[in-house]
Amino acid sequence: MKRLKTYFIPSLIFSALVLFFACDADKLELTNPNQLSPDTYFTTPAQVQSAVDAVYGSMQTTGMYNRGMWYGNENMGHENTCNSQQEADKRQWLNFTHDSSHPLITPYWSSCYRGINKANFVINNEQAMIDNIPTSILPEATRDKYIGEAKFMRALYYFWLVTKFGDVPIYLGIDPAEKDGLPRSPAADVWALIEADCEDAAAKCLPKATEQAGRATSGAAWALLGKARLYQKNYQGALDAFNQVTGYSLEPEYFRNFMEETENGPESLFEVQFNLAAGYSNQWSSDRSDVGKNEGTFRAQEYGCLNWFNVFVSEDLWNEFETAADNGVKIDPRRGYCAYQTGDLYNNNTMTITITPVTVYAKDGVTVTDFYERRGWRKYQNYYKQPSETNNTSGINMKVIRYADVLLMKAEAEANRSGGSLTTAIGYMNEVRARADVNLPLYGTTGMNATYPVGTLAQFMVALEHERKVELCGEQIRYNDLVRWGRLAAFLTEVKPSCPKADQAALAFDPAKHYLWPIPQQEFSSNPNIGDQNPGY
């Protein structure tokens, strides 16, 4: 990992320029990176923008939204169940048998630190931007917003690290000792850096209405700040931040959040940008080399029930969606928007899905056949408009923060803060349920009180967990929710009977270790100062 921590080699900056903002690619006059150094790099506005663009590129790697991010979160949160062809490393997450050599944990770690490294390059050269570039061609407000973007992204990468590993090294790119590797800093210090970066980003970034789609905005920064505070149980502070998130609204049609044609819509605060037209030739090598194009995600191909079908919607998640028996009115429409079952229409409603209800596993050398009703993911799939996933890749953006999540986090903060109002909190939850094409009975009504009463804080939290589980499924959120609520151990006990036979037998969750991921073994090999491994690994 030392190669990720040395001072900022210019090729590292350009390496992540996978044409993240493809529409602007022709406007960037990129120079041979081997002829540049950090001291002479920032001489034009285009160079500043390209350095900032590079920070975003680390979200598109195998360890992040190209593969590891969704498998790691959705398998461990048991939103997924694995099919027989699913590789052992993904099944390890499902059954909690992973260790520090897991092949997707290392890319997750290294991608975050690459992104941090690139953000530090921009942040630490702020003065160079001021001194070397006249304000007549790079106005101060533009320079500030670039710094804000870099700080938002640094905060986001550290958020992804601290929520998975706890204590992690804090690299700021200004300490000569960094080149030898730093020890882990307490999680509290990491959270403090995240908050400070978000506060600065909120002050410097532009609002969504005036910013290019895909870039960090003030709204995204406020939302991440609120989320960071919520995770630390600073409920009043979280609410204060969420109250600054304005100018957003729910999509009237839920599924528009997950279609290629309606990306960056009114509900989107921040999402990972993909664009197949910009190229994706280096998808498989994105964590081995920062050079090349990686403007696609394997999500649709790997989750596709008509393609690789590595995972399918778990029985537990499917059963969580309400039916008329639960609310006295109707099936939750979000179930059909999130998952396909046999008989559903696809490809512009011209074809019918058929999914065979059988899974086959090898258990201790014995073949186990389990007739298990399988439903395929619809969310983030291209089947709505075509008969199959093509080219092994997809250009659908992936949401990181959307307004429905903000409303539900705001509800949680309001309900749990000192002097908070359950009535107000319930109102935020009901905004999500009242989405035009969801339109489910509201919490607090007679029909809902039969299954999800909300008269006490404890009851409210049960309803909130339900609402977050169905609204945000498949968006890499539930596992973190279960961890931060201290609910992971209890949930896995609850979910075990609904798992396929082989996974019931293989589930090896240990509450003494599995609330965190292990520090990658590679880090211990390259950083002599890293310190101790997380407990149990």
What domains does the chain contain, in order, with CATH numbers? 2-305+395-402+486-526 (1.25.40.390)
Position 24 scores a pLDDT of: 34
Does 70 score more than 60 pLDDT? yes
| Better pLDDT: 94 or 42 | 94
pLDDT value at residue 185:
98
The pLDDT tens digits for 142-162 are: 999 999 999 999 999 999 999
| Tens of pLDDT, residues 265-307 | 999 999 999 999 988 877 777 766 555 678 899 999 999 999 9
Paired with 497 in beta bridges are: none
Write out pLDDT tens, residues 406-465.
Answer: 999 999 999 999 999 999 999 999 999 999 999 999 999 999 999 999 999 999 999 999
Angle 480-374-517 (CA atoms, 0-180°, nearest 5)? 25
Identify which of 73, 58, 150 has the alpha carbon closest to the alpha carbon of residue 109. 58
**pLDDT for the residue 391:** 77
pLDDT surpasses 70 at 369? yes
Which residue in 97, 86, 96, 84 sits closest to 362, CA to CA?
Answer: 84
Contact 417, 239 (CB under 8 A): yes
CB burial of 434-462 (b: ≥16 within 10 Å; e: otherwise) equals ebeebebbbbbeeebeeebebeeeeebbe
State yes or no: pLDDT of 201 exceeds 90.
yes
Instruction: Check if the beta carbon of residue 224 is closer than 8 Å to that of residue 171.
Output: no
d(CA 68, CA 438): 30
Cβ–Cβ < 8 Å for 338, 344: no
Residue 381 has pLDDT above 90, yes or no: yes
Between CA 232 and CA 241 the distance in angstroms is 14
Gyration radius of the chain over CA positions: 23
- Closest by alpha carbon to 60, among 22, 98, 101? 22
Please report where in the chains the tokens 């149980």 appear, as a residue: 233
Buried b (16+ CB within 10 A) or exposed e, 50-66: bbbbbbbbbbbbbbbbb
Asked if pLDDT for residue 30 goes beyond 50, the answer is no
Residue 366 sits at φ, ψ, to 5 deg, of -110, 135
The mean predicted confidence, pLDDT, of the chain is 90
The percent of residues above 90 in pLDDT, for the chain, comes to 80
State residue 2's pLDDT score: 30
Query: Both tokens of residue 296?
Result: 């696609």
**Which residues sit opposite 362 in a β-bridge?**
367
Chain Cα centroid distance, residue 309: 21
List the alpha helices (DSSP H) in 1-44: 2-5, 10-15
Q: How far apart are CA 370 and CA 382, in angstroms?
A: 29
Res. 134 pLDDT band, cuts 50 70 90: very high
